Amino acid sequence: MVDAEMRRMSEDDWLRRFRSWGVRPSKSMGQNFLLDTDIVERITDAADISSGQLVIEVGPGMGILSEALLNRGAHVIAIEMDDDIASRIADHFRQNDNYTVIHKNAATTDMSAITNGRTYDVVANLPYSVATLIVRHFLESPHPPRRLTIMVQKEVAARMAAGTGDLSLLTLATRLYATPTLLFDVPKDAFYPPPKVTSSVIQLNVRETPLVDSEARSRLFTMATIAFQQRRKTLLNSLSRGLSLDKPTVADELDHLGIDPAARPQAISLESWLALSESTVLQP
C-alpha cells in the first residue's frame, strides 16, 4: 500500500516539490510526470514487489513511483538521463541506502553491469518518445528483467499485445521475448504536464528463452521489416521483391509452411511468423 505520508501529498504538493527543484518538463525527452497516487498504487500492486527485490525504474521524475517502490521494501536503481533531475532525485533520496541513481541513457545502459548480475524487475513510467527503444533494449539484453510493469502510450501498449489480424513489427519484437498483458488505462490528467494522449499500463512477463534462436530472429526481423513496410501488399509480393526471389519460389515455400501467399503481414499468426523464421528458402 502507498504509505500515509504519500497519500497526504496532493497533486499540488508534488507540483510544489517539482517547482522547488527548478526543473521544467522537457518536450524533447517526452517528460510527463505522474502525480496520481492512486495510479501509483495500482502500478505497484500489479508489479507485486516483495521486500528486498531489485527494481529498475527508468525516468523517476519527482520520485512518486520511487517512493512507493521503496515503501514496499524494494531496492531501486533509477536510471535518469536528464542532468537536473538526476542530480535532484539523487539528493532527495541521499539518505536511503536502497536507492541508487544512474545518470545514463536507459536505452544503452549495460543492465548486467548496473545490477551486478542480480535478478531484477522493471517498473516505470516510460518517456513516450523512446519507450519502444527502451523496451526492446531490456528484452534483447543479455541480462533481461524477470518482468516489466510499464506505462506507455495506449496505442503502443495495444500494438505490443496485439493478436492475429493486428500484428505489427512491435508485436513480434515483444512476443518473441515476453508474454504481454494489458492492465489498465491512465487518463491524461494524472500527469503534469498532461500529455495529448491516453496512457496504458502493460505487463511483460519475460520468457526464460526467446521463442527462436538468434539466427532465426535475425531472419524473422529481416522478413517482418520488409513485409510491414508494405503492409497493404501480400506476403507473396512484398517478400519476393524484398528478398529478390521469384514469385513461384516464394509462393511454393509459403504454401509449404501453411501460409496463404495472399495474406497481409498483420493477418498471419505469431506461429506462422515463427515458421517463416525457420525457412531456409526465404533468405535475402
Question: Can you give the pLDDT at residue 10?
Answer: 62
Residue 1: predicted pLDDT: 45
**Residue ranges per domain, the chain?**
4-206, 214-277
214-277, CATH topology level: Helicase, Ruva Protein; domain 3 (1.10.8)
pLDDT of residue 204 exceeding 80, the answer is yes
The answer to whether 83 and 60 are in contact (CB under 8 A) is: no
Cut 0.75: pTM above it: yes
Quick one: average pLDDT of 257-266?
Answer: 97
What confidence tier does 16 reach under pLDDT thresholds 50, 70, 90?
confident
4-206 folds as Rossmann fold (3.40.50)
pLDDT at 48 over 50: yes
CB 214, CB 222: distance < 8 Å:
no
Q: How confident is the model at residue 193 (pLDDT cuts 50, 70, 90)?
A: confident
Region 85-102: what's the mean pLDDT?
95
**DSSP line for 62-124:** TSHHHHHHHHTT-EEEEE---HHHHHHHHHHTTT-TTEEEE-S-TTT--HHHHHTT---EEEE
Sign, CA torsion 7/10/11/14: negative
Determine phi and psi for 114, rounding to 5 degrees: -75, -20
pLDDT computed for residue 33 by the predictor: 86
Model confidence pLDDT, tens digit, residues 21-30: 766 666 666 6
* Strand-pair category, 75-79 with 54-58: parallel
- pLDDT at position 20: 76
pLDDT of residue 4: 45
pLDDT at residue 7, rounded to an integer: 46
